[in-house]
Amino acid sequence: MTIIHNLGFPRIGAGRELKFALESYWKGESSRAALETQGAVLRQRHWQQQAGLDLVPVGDFSFYDQVLDMSFTLGHLPERVRGFHGDALDNYFRVARGRSAASTDEHHGCCGGVAAGEMTKWFDTNYHYIVPEFDAGTVFALDASRLLGQLAEARREGVKAKPVIIGPVTYLALGKTRDDSDKLALLPALLDVYAQLLETLAAQGVEWVQVDEPLLVTELDQDWQHAFNFAYHQLKACRVKLLVASYFGPLQENRYLAANLPVAGLHVDATHGQEDILSLLNLLPDHKVLSLGVINGRNIWKTDLNAVLDWLEPVAARLGGQLWLAPSCSLLHVPVDLEGEQKLDADIRSWLAFALQKLDELQVLAEALRGGRTAVREALAANAAALAARRASPRVTNPAVQAAVAAIDAGLGARRSSHGVRSAAQAALLQLPAYPTTTIGSFPQTAEIRQARSAFRAGTLAHADYNAAMRAEIARSVREQEALGLDVLVHGEAERNDMVEYFGEQLEGYAFSQSGWVQSYGSRCVKPPILFGDISRPRAMTVEWIAYAQSLTAKPMKGMLTGPVTILNWSFVRDDQPRALSCRQLALAIRAEVLDLERAGVRVIQIDEAALREGLPLRRSEWKACLDWAVDAFRIAANGVRDETQIHTHMCYAEFNDIIAAIAAMDADVITIETSRSNMELLDAFDDFKYPNEIGPGVYDIHSPNIPSQEQIVGLMRKAAERIPAGRLWVNPDCGLKTRQWAEVLPALGNMVAAARTLRAGLAA
């Protein structure tokens, strides 16, 4: 009998209940008990929604991040928070975001907070995790209270529980050393704590534990291959059965390694690695479970169930009871439920599956394997009809767009002059001081802004009144920036709901859900657009707002756009054509907007490519092809302008050092990049690579409520000036400010402007 299970479930709630509970607690508006109660309610609901599974994940729920949860389970806290004597959850939030609830931190004498943990992308997803921090003296000590508490809850609810933890090798690989020590030297001590954890679970009567090791789908050198063998041979005596779970890609050359780990079961991502399966069938011992991820946990399109059964039935016949089925990865990366969606039309709804619908698909596959396809004839027929309707839909294909893409040539991506020539022309036009200051684009999305947007969408606020409200907010942003003394201003993006959704709503080929929220980090949720067809831009998207903002000031006003690669990577992308082709369609649409902004007199245009890095394949050998088309798309979007028009781009919260040559090839005049949480570590790339253009290393961590001091910012910029000539440095936050409050933003930016003046004075001395 085939076992069906799940690797993880969305934790935020269908109505983003976790987001609102967290933010209320952090503001001091609700109690710790209220937050804990909301967490328990969500866990209970999610377990009930997975009740049809043979095994249900437990421990996948988190108040912020599963990697940070593992750090606390391992007793692995950064030194700066070890002396905290308050509640453990408050210390957890201090690592995550620099501080917990305001009243809590004030009570414990740490109202200034601490440096938040570094945050970066979880493999090639848009989910952010808190990076573990190691040094040669790192010690570990088990604290299983969180996992044991959730396990006890699940058992009271009658849940067939499968605890989920991050594996020891992946955990080490995800972290960073602060003293250049060897992370792998910590493995024996780390395994001692993992062994204690597994024995603790065994003592609770746990049979199976899911151990997530997505590192297995990456290229591993001999040391890391040895680490896997060493780790699981050390843990094989534990009394629980281990299911090692790989996902986000195929195993390829790691098949033999994974198949021969001394564990009871192996999970592989069959949506990406179907070619792995035949080899694994020949490599796996007869007693070992093979779990196949047959439903895509990363995208929202219906699975072709008949096609899956075509290849799955022979596998099931061979494996019998040793076959398990699951989604490819945790369903953390998709929305919770398609039912109740009002915004999507019936056609597009019929093509989609969110988390709960994916579990329904899993049930259909299992029933077909157990009782034959006739047992689920109607479900399979409905699935086939929906897929056929999507393929035949005239909404998917636009011949004019396809012709425009076919006409792209190399000249479309080239600037008219070299950066040196452009830089001189831009300097003459813009007249900026040394260390020019700017922000990344957005200002606080206040309750008033959100209320106006909600009322407008509900039809209770007239279009003219909505526009007037947004213009008032833009005018406020301009006034505040002029009062602060910033050099290049932004309009604040009051009218924008999200940096991708805003553009997708104005492009043909996109659809939008009402409540298709997914977690990006902590309480930050996004509602990715659904890219279902060929993309075109019917009309200008931003010109009216930017032109209005520019009319309010004599200072340069940046036009703010999201780049084609980021729009692509932060969307649910169509799966019926190559990503590179969809990206080129987006590039042409953004290029048209860039040229319209320039015609409107906008002389600084920022095209954000925050997601350039995260779209890369997990295997370095496959990077070049992906970077080639990604850089090409950016250049197509950006490079139709005159020399005097300054093109900026922005990137954040990913590892950019190893793609710095590709970033340089984008040929943006100015790049702003996150460096504050990593203490300028990202600038290490410039020790060996001479970046030719201008750069703004982010000096202000906007994801933390902490306010940086003038001295901190000066110190970071002086550190940057050791690698980049001062004449090519900008001073800016590391990301947009929409999630912050004005009371935090104004003093932080005031300190940033004062720091820039100090730096200029140093040049003149």
658 and 627 Cβ atoms separated by less than 8 Å:
no
User: Which of left, alpha, beta for 138 (phi over 0: left; psi -120 to 50: alpha)?
Assistant: beta
Half-sphere exposure of 261 (CA within 13 A, CB side): 32
The answer to the question of whether 349 is labelled as a binding residue is no
The answer to the question of whether 298 is labelled as a binding residue is no
The answer to the question of whether 17 is labelled as a binding residue is yes
Burial 39-74, CB ≥16 within 10 A → b, else e: beebbeebbebbeebebbbbbbbbbbbbbbbbbbbb
Q: Identify whether 128 is a catalytic site residue.
A: no
The answer to the question of whether 650 is labelled as a binding residue is yes
The answer to the question of whether 508 is labelled as a binding residue is no
The answer to the question of whether 208 is labelled as a binding residue is no
The answer to the question of whether 608 is labelled as a binding residue is yes
Q: Where do we find the tokens 């969110």?
A: 354
Instruction: Give the sheet arrangement for strand 56-58, strand by strand.
Output: 3-4, 323-327, 289-295, 265-269, 241-245, 208-212, 161-166, 56-58
Check the CA dihedral 506-575-303-330 and report its sign: negative
Rounded Cα distance, 740 and 736, in Å: 9
Radius of gyration of the chain from its Cα atoms, rounded to whole angstroms: 26
Half-sphere exposure of 543 (CA within 13 A, CB side): 13
Rounded Cα distance, 445 and 499, in Å: 13
φ/ψ (deg, to 5) at 48 = -65, -40
Rounded Cα distance, 717 and 727, in Å: 12
DSSP conformation class of 560: E
Q: Which of 409, 495, 484 is nearest to 445 (CA)?
A: 495
The answer to the question of whether 558 is labelled as a binding residue is no
The answer to the question of whether 422 is labelled as a binding residue is no
DSSP string for residues in 502-544:
HHHTTSEEEE--SS--EEEETTEEE---EEEEEEE--S-SSHH
The secondary structure element, H or E, covering residue 323 is strand 323-327
Indicate the SS3 state at residue 745: helix
403, two tokens:
């012709």
The answer to the question of whether 524 is labelled as a binding residue is yes
Check the CA dihedral 114-120-122-123 and report its sign: negative
DSSP string for residues in 665-725:
HT--SEEEEE-TTTTTGGGGGGGT----SEEEEE-S-TTSSPPPPHHHHHHHHHHHHTTS-
DSSP conformation class of 475: H
The answer to the question of whether 19 is labelled as a binding residue is yes
Q: Which of 134, 129, 99, 133 is nearest to 116 (CA)?
A: 99
Beta 289-295 vs 323-327: how paired, if at all? Answer: parallel
Strand spans (E) along 545-675: 558-562, 604-608, 646-651, 670-674
Rounded Cα distance, 40 and 50, in Å: 16
Residues 284, 282, 229, CA angle at the centre, nearest 5°? 40
Rounded Cα distance, 437 and 139, in Å: 42
The answer to the question of whether 18 is labelled as a binding residue is yes
Residue 422: partners with Cβ closer than 8 Å, 6 or more residues away: 415, 643, 644, 646, 669
From 5, 128, 272, 703, the catalytic residue: 703
Which residue numbers belong to the known binding site for Zn(2+)?
650, 652, 674, 735
Which residue numbers belong to the known binding site for 5-methyltetrahydropteroyltri-L-glutamate?
16-19, 121, 524-525, 570, 614
Which residue numbers belong to the known binding site?
16-19, 121, 440-442, 493, 524-525, 570, 608, 614, 650, 652, 674, 735
Q: What are the catalytic residues? A: 703
Which residue numbers belong to the known binding site for L-homocysteine?
440-442, 493, 608
Which residue numbers belong to the known binding site for L-methionine?
440-442, 493, 608
